[in-house]
Structure 1
């Protein structure tokens, strides 16, 4: 058997040029495809998944964004609730969706910062299963009590809880929910002790607080402002570093003797990993434009929230820092899923 004949240097140079030209052509083709994909997006209905039951802050914000996004891109945006396992069911379903920009998830502090520490076998990785698109809003938690609770201030609530161990129950939208973690953070900082009563979503928790079946709640202000104004709940404090325009007389926890305390909820849009950068950038631009309208800022402000938009990289860094912060609290408090 004879060896292959030697290849001349000229022939090697031609072959190398052909390979390089072919690779460049493929790269151009791939880039053109990505650009066309971004230019023709959306080509079908957009599904925006809310991983909780309807009626909470996540649902309120998703529907507000969905309406604005639909008007901007001239394409239907369907908001769908997929609750379960602290939001993990809905978020996990989006992680497995086709990465074409037509399936979005409303991420928030619970599903992306708390759940990784709460669930040892989470069906998604917050940092690897998604492409962050943009933050959309910050929602300050409001600490409220049923009118039958004698406390008229945060300090009076702390004193009452210490003097009446086991008497106060606080509600949340579920174990590991933003309301649960915020209340744990408050108790950790103040030394207060109350019994946790988890519900399957914020709406039923608020209903039972109104009925007096639970006495305390520390959750997103948009769910509570109307009840505070109506006198069916009493507001004692808010969780941000500044007061809410919607409730200017309610002090922050920080100014009531606990400097630096902050336990607000954040929300943002993510898409499945593998979604091309042109589509992510197009989505980011559309979302930031939608949330940047003055009437949106005014609407959110009246409900106790504020617009918070980011670049994809800024949102990714924020998720990573929040995972470290709240994951540490979950472990220290020994919080376990049901």
Structure 2
């Protein structure tokens, strides 16, 4: 089991910076790839510095995200491995046709890095990225990964160099707590990681919600002595159905936590797996409800919708009929 850091609230990481840093390291190591990007890449960011150092392999498409995704497919068809950074909501909503027809249908080696996932953009409903997983899951050939912290993001970026086919790497705006104490652990696309062992119930999450789930598990342990298992389902597609079935059999209660609409995302994928395998235990989805989210700082939004550690603990208490 990988060593985690869930007791330390201030150990922050920034996956949005980490991917640029890893691209720089890979280029310095002599790996061959190209990078397409949109206008939201600041010159002072790690990706901006990568662009300054390796301008011949970088292509700016301004605010024409669909064109960027289509051109990325063309570069891949010419034999390049392509990393394409796009503002998350504009990637999924504006570029759906190009993802479907240019990237996925052609089954090309493009890694679509969708930043500002969930409500982390802070720009309200027009900039919230809460329906992307539902779209991506329905498109054939797409692998979907959601790193839990910056360290895991760099591992995924590096590992994707040897991966065949298109991939979406979904990351938030930045400033999320570290889940893993170091990078000394193996990651395999499609194989979930058990970050906390437990026998009473299982919390399955991805991305920044892995840390929230771990802190929620800590609250449940301290308050009720409940032993909650926490799973980092870093790959949404292909889903680790073996892990889900195993947890269902061993703990009897499954709760999913995600920074996405409860419709069509991780919770929906887990529910489908459980139903197809005859699950008869307790099940709960924690995420954004079927509405346009309220406007506010991401932490305030998480608390409002019960997606923070205390909200997760409360949902489990209600599901198990436990008095607080």
TM-score bin (small chain): under 0.3
* TM value normalised by structure 2: 0.28
Q: Could you say which structure has the larger radius of gyration?
A: 1
Higher RCO (CA-CA < 8 Å; seq separation 6+)? 1
* TM value normalised by structure 1: 0.27
